[in-house]
């Protein structure tokens, strides 16, 4: 059995002051995939010395205090990382610290943080370029390699209407994260042979969200978006035993999500 947790922590420093270590002790993940760490390469062990039982593998943005992903692998994990790659060899994206790829033998894990387009047209276009490059990268992989993929992280996209509160309002306001072209990209992404682990187990369960605005008490009212995912290749889907959203866990505007596989 292998247990994975993915969480956009909105700053690792902040998360450490809000109980991240206690959460890890309670959940005991084999692999913890973090997004938006907002720290540099020289800061990880200083910011989170308590996490030394987890081997940190990370991709940091060149801009300090921005973006960044980290995959922390437990010393007791049955499938340690045997190969690590930071990025997809696209400097314009890799310089923002948005990918860490780790090969664990039976599976290859992509921990990703897809850009947000909420700040305007320039970043929305950057997001589309990122999506196109990422999908092209996946399509170049051999079929047998795609079938053993696990892709997790903050996608900054709600795939379907069920994944967002008041979808008609979001559509009318043309909000980034629920634009037709973004949702169409998710369709193409899934068509590459990738399965939404949460929906695979839970079907069309409503009001299952992973992100809430800090405004107007959105989280208390559960006015959220499901933008954090675990996707798995076809060979791994039958091995899924659990895929959950830990909506009660505080510490970020996102909540953690989990995946367990019989591996």
List 30, 154, 163, 228, catalytic entry: 154
**In which residue are the tokens 């790659």 written?**
85
Give all strands of the β-sheet with 257-261 in edge-to-edge order: 54-59, 69-74, 31-35, 2-8, 257-261, 240-245
C-alpha 184: how far from chain center: 19
3-state secondary structure of 89: coil
3-state secondary structure of 139: helix
**In which residue are the tokens 């897809």 written?**
114
Whether 100 and 84 have beta carbons less than 8 Å apart is answered as yes
Please give the helix or strand (H or E) that residue 233 lies within, else none: strand 228-233
154 is catalytic: yes
How buried is 212 (Cβ within 10 angstroms: 0-12 exposed, 13-18 middle, 19+ buried)?
A: buried
C-alpha 243: how far from chain center: 13
Q: In sequence order, what DSSP letters do the residues of 92-109 get, joined into one string?
A: HHHTT--EEEEE-SS-EE
The catalytic residue positions are 154
């Amino acid at each position: 059995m292998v247990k994975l947790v993915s969480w956009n922590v909105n700053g690792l420093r902040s998360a450490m002051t809000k109980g991240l270590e206690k959460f890890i002790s309670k959940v005991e993940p084999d692999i913890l995939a973090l997004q938006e760490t907002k720290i540099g390469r020289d800061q990880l062990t200083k910011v989170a010395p308590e996490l030394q039982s987890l081997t940190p593998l990370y991709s940091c943005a060149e801009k300090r205090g921005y973006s960044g992903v980290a995959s922390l692998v437990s010393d007791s994990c049955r499938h340690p990382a045997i190969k690590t790659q930071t990025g997809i060899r696209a400097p314009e994206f890799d310089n923002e610290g948005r990918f860490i790829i780790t090969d664990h033998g039976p599976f290859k894990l992509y921990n990703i943080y897809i850009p947000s387009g909420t700040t305007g047209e320039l970043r929305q276009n950057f997001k589309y370029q990122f999506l196109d490059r990422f999908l092209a990268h996946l399509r170049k992989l051999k079929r047998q390699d795609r079938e053993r993929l696990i892709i997790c992280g903050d996608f900054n996209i709600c795939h379907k209407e069920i994944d967002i509160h008041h979808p008609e309002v979001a559509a009318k306001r043309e909000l980034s994260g629920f634009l037709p072209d973004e949702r169409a990209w998710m369709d193409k992404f899934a068509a590459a042979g990738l399965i939404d682990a949460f929906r695979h187990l839970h079907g069309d369960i409503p009001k299952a969200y992973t992100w809430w605005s800090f405004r107007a008490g959105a989280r208390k009212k559960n006015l959220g978006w499901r933008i954090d995912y675990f996707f798995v290749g076809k060979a791994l889907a039958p091995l899924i035993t659990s895929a959950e959203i830990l909506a009660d866990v505080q510490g970020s505007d996102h909540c953690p999500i989990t995946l367990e596989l019989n591996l």
